[in-house]
């Protein structure tokens, strides 16, 4: 194989096929401290501990109709994660990080897309010690996302109890890039021909899905979601709990299989889809096998709340 100069190597690298590059609308890389709109230039050095150690945090943010959903909620969760056992500080101020997110959103040039924020330990050695990395890294990527098929919300999704054990609480409550269990759950769902794998703790209580939170409408008509001491505090779930208070009792407490068995509805909460009705869990079919009334009105109420509290791209920052 050839041993190339820097210029020739970069030219070959940029000319190579990059699956997925066409979905990148714009990105920020703190190494260059600049935004670029060519997805073929979106690289992360392998020596960044984000890559080979998973020593990083991330956030997935939805932008709809030019409005960044729950930006401050995502920023707050990212900051809490950084100040946790991760002890990870961004390469800029938190105010500048938020500003960079909005600048990338504006550079995307489209009204509907997803934002991915990665706060990494930074480039350094190939060992395990964070001390190898003198400066943290920040990558913000605007990614083209296909809108969910409207029929999905009419059809609902199916779910089952995953064989993949839930993460330990200290990892589950921080949105870090150690996502192998989540990947295995997604593969498990595909192999079973179902939509959503749901974890259960050793004590039999419900955890979460691979990239979503789960709740139920109890037999008594309450919206019940698991407490956030062993799962990620999803921004969509927290929004649902807030807006639901106007129409029904709300409670955060453990959810058991028996609770699911007698529930009126089962719900999935995710940033990109807000709320979807789970129409079947294992052998339990809810209602008439289509999303129930809570799933329908909650999604609309959540959308209205996200628009009302969101940040418009291009507005004052």
Please tell me whether residues 283 and 163 are part of one structural domain.
yes
- Whether residue 183 sits in one domain with residue 126: no
Assess whether 230 and 111 both reside in one domain: no
| Domain end marker among 105, 120, 143 | 143
Q: How many helices (H) and strands (E) does the chain have?
A: 10, 16
CA–CA gap between residue 289 and residue 269 (Å, rounded): 19
- pTM score > 0.75 for this model? yes
Same domain, 109 and 191: no
* Same-domain check for residues 12 and 135: yes
What is the extent of the structural domain holding 135?
6-143
Write the CATH number for 54. 3.30.470.10
- In 3D space, the residue among 245, 255, 253, 243 whose CA is nearest the CA of residue 281 turns out to be 255
Closest CA to 309 of 72, 62, 100: 72
Print pLDDT tens along the chain (317 aa).
999 999 999 999 999 999 999 999 999 999 999 999 999 999 999 999 999 999 999 999 999 999 999 999 999 999 999 999 999 999 999 999 999 999 999 999 999 999 999 999 999 999 999 999 999 999 999 999 987 889 999 999 999 999 999 999 999 999 999 999 999 999 999 999 999 999 999 999 999 999 999 999 999 999 999 999 999 999 999 999 999 999 999 999 999 999 999 999 999 999 999 999 999 999 999 999 999 999 999 999 999 999 999 999 986 54
Let me know whether 10 and 94 are in one domain.
yes
State whether 157 and 121 are in the same domain. Answer: no
Residues 101 and 157 in one domain: no
Are 246 and 273 in contact by the 8 Å Cβ rule? The answer is: no
């Amino acid at each position: 194989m050839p041993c190339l100069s820097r210029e020739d190597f970069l030219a070959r690298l940029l000319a190579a096929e990059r699956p997925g590059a066409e979905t990148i609308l714009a990105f920020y890389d703190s190494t260059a401290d600049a935004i670029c709109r060519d997805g073929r230039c979106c690289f992360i050095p392998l020596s960044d501990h984000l890559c080979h150690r998973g020593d990083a945090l991330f956030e997935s943010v939805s932008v709809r109709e030019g409005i960044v959903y729950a930006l401050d909620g995502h920023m707050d969760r990212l900051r809490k994660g950084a100040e946790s056992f991760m002890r990870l500080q961004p390469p800029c101020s938190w105010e500048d990080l938020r500003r960079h997110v909005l600048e990338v959103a504006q550079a995307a040039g489209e009204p509907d897309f997803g934002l991915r924020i990665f706060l990494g330990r930074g480039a350094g050695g190939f060992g395990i010690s964070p001390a190898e990395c003198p400066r943290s890294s920040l990558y913000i990527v605007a990614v083209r996302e296909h809108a969910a098929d409207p029929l999905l919300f009419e059809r609902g999704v199916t779910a089952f109890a995953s064989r993949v054990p839930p993460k330990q609480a200290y990892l589950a409550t921080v949105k870090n890039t150690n996502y192998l269990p989540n990947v295995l759950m997604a593969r498990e769902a595909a192999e079973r021909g179902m939509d959503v794998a749901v974890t259960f703790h050793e004590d039999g209580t419900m955890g979460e899905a691979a990239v979503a939170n789960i709740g139920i409408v109890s037999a008594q008509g309450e919206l019940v979601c698991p407490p956030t001491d062993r799962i990620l505090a999803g921004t969509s779930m927290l929004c649902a709990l807030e807006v639901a208070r106007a129409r029904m009792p709300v409670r955060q407490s453990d959810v058991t299989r028996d609770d699911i068995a007698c529930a009126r509805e089962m719900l999935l909460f995710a940033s990109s889809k807000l709320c979807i009705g789970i129409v079947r869990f294992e052998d339990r079919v809810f209602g008439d096998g289509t999303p129930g009334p809570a799933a329908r009105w909650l999604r609309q109420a959540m959308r209205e709340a996200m628009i009302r509290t969101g940040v418009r791209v291009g507005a004052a920052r």
